């Protein structure tokens, strides 16, 4: 081979390792989510990352993992820890618990950012909202939303004498449940309503819960948004409609599926904003120095068709504040 032919070959040999190193240098994050979570939430995260200069496939690699049960989430989280990703983004309390436990068991300091999680202090994810202290931080859902749902119930169903709160038993620590039960009972009483609880176990709790609600003469059902309620959305929305039981939710998908109304945090906004924490962590900041942030946007959704089926007239005051009316 002539010398002039050796030069391009030598340059190519030098360039290939450089390309490999450049590819390996791309930051890699993980997305640990329920398989039933809307893809639009992930799209909101991608949008937030793009706004901060991180584009999947160009200068960012994203490992996606989906699960259903706590055991599956823990296995997925352990896999991500072994991959040594730079940041793990979680989408609720169960995946956040799995990521926290998996990193702790491995002695890993991989940052965990929850895009939405209720009561992160009470569940032990962080020491406080202002000072998380560990490797977990993110964006918290507000516990104060339920009294707002009660107010909405009073406006939409003025003849109702009681409300029942349907929630996933496993995600609420017992001490917190006892404390908030009194808070919610007091909030309901100020509106002239009796307060009941319908805790859902992991298995077999949906039909008995509805039977309890009917036997107690519940006027309005208030449904929390958890992995379990999302997984069984159709098994909640349809039976409530069949029993002519007005139901108010915390997220729009339930209303789009036929529910009466929803009021709660704009979850898409939380996912988009969570990219800010991810971006700062990828640029070298530490999770304990990033305070847990809270929602700034809320949305009220009304399903006019569902209201008519229940024989309810939506007050003009509710229409005036609605962000969306589904017809």
Identify the CATH number of the domain in which residue 227 sits: 3.40.50.2300
Residue 52, number of CB atoms within 10 A of its CB? 15
Could you list the residue range(s) of the whole structural domain that residue 175 is in? Answer: 145-265+298-326
Same domain? For 165 and 225 the reply is yes
Least confident stretch, 8-12, 28-32, 110-114, 307-311 = 8-12
Whether the predicted pLDDT of 9 surpasses 90: no
Give the integer Cα–Cα distance in Å for 288 and 281.
10
Same domain? For 151 and 90 the reply is no
Same domain? For 191 and 318 the reply is yes
pLDDT classification of 273: cutoffs 50, 70, 90: very high
Residue 14, number of CB atoms within 10 A of its CB? 9
Structurally, the chain folds into a number of domains equal to 2
Which residue reads 């992160």 in tokens?
120
> Using one digit for the tens of pLDDT, what is the confidence trace for 21-52?
444 579 999 999 988 788 999 999 999 999 99
> Using one digit for the tens of pLDDT, what is the confidence trace for 179-236?
788 889 999 999 999 999 998 876 666 888 888 898 899 999 999 888 788 888 999 9
Same domain? For 217 and 274 the reply is no
Whether the predicted pLDDT of 1 surpasses 60: no
Angle (deg, nearest 10), helices 174-190 and 145-156? 30
Q: Provide CB contacts within 8 A for 166, sequence distance 6+.
A: 198, 200, 209, 213, 221, 222, 223, 224, 229, 236
H-helix or E-strand spanning residue 195: strand 194-200
Least confident stretch, 5-14, 112-121, 230-239, 260-269 = 5-14
**Which residue from 188, 207, 204, 206 is spatially nearest to 196, judged by alpha carbons?**
188
Same domain? For 130 and 198 the reply is no
Whether the predicted pLDDT of 16 surpasses 80: no
Higher local confidence (pLDDT), 3 or 122? 122
**pLDDT at residue 204, rounded to an integer:** 62
Same domain? For 125 and 271 the reply is yes
Q: Provide CB contacts within 8 A for 101, sequence distance 6+.
A: 74, 77
- Strands of 220-223's sheet, edge to edge? 194-200, 162-168, 220-223, 247-249, 261-265, 298-303, 324-326
**pLDDT at residue 155, rounded to an integer:** 96
Whether the predicted pLDDT of 173 surpasses 80: no
> Using one digit for the tens of pLDDT, what is the confidence trace for 60-76?
999 999 998 899 999 99
Q: Return the structure tokens found at 37.
A: 């979570």
pTM above 0.75, yes or no: yes
**pLDDT at residue 103, rounded to an integer:** 98
């Amino acid at each position: 081979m002539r010398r002039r032919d050796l030069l391009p070959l030598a340059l190519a040999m030098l360039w290939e390792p450089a390309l490999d190193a450049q590819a390996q240098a791309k930051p890699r994050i993980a997305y640990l989510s329920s398989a039933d979570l809307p893809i639009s939430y992930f799209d909101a995260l991608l949008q937030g990352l793009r706004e901060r200069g991180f584009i999947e496939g160009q200068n960012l690699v994203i490992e996606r993992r989906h699960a259903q049960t706590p055991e599956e989430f823990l296995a997925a989280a352990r896999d991500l820890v072994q991959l040594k990703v730079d940041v793990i983004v979680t989408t609720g309390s169960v995946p956040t618990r799995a990521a926290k436990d998996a990193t702790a068991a491995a002695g890993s300091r991989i940052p965990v950012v929850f895009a939405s999680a209720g009561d992160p202090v009470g569940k032990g994810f962080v020491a406080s909202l202002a000072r998380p202290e560990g490797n977990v931080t993110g964006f918290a859902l507000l516990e104060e939303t339920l009294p707002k749902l009660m107010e909405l119930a009073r406006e939409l169903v003025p003849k109702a004498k009681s409300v029942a709160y349907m929630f996933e038993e496993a995600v609420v620590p017992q001490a917190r449940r006892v404390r908030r039960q009194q808070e919610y009972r007091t909030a309901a009483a100020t509106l002239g309503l009796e307060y009941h609880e319908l805790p859902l176990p992991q298995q077999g709790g949906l039909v008995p819960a509805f039977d309890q609600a009917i036997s107690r003469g519940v006027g309005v059902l208030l449904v929390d948004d958890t992995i379990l309620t999302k997984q069984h959305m159709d098994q909640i929305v349809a039976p409530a409609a069949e029993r002519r039981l007005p139901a108010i939710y915390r997220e729009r998908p339930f209303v789009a599926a036929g529910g009466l109304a929803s009021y709660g945090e704009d979850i898409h906004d939380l996912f988009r904003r969570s990219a800010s924490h991810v971006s700062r962590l990828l640029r070298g900041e530490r999770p304990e120095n990033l305070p847990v942030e809270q929602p700034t946007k809320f949305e009220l959704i009304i399903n006019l068709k569902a209201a008519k089926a229940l024989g309810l007239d939506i007050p003009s005051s509710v229409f005036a504040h609605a962000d969306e009316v589904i017809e």
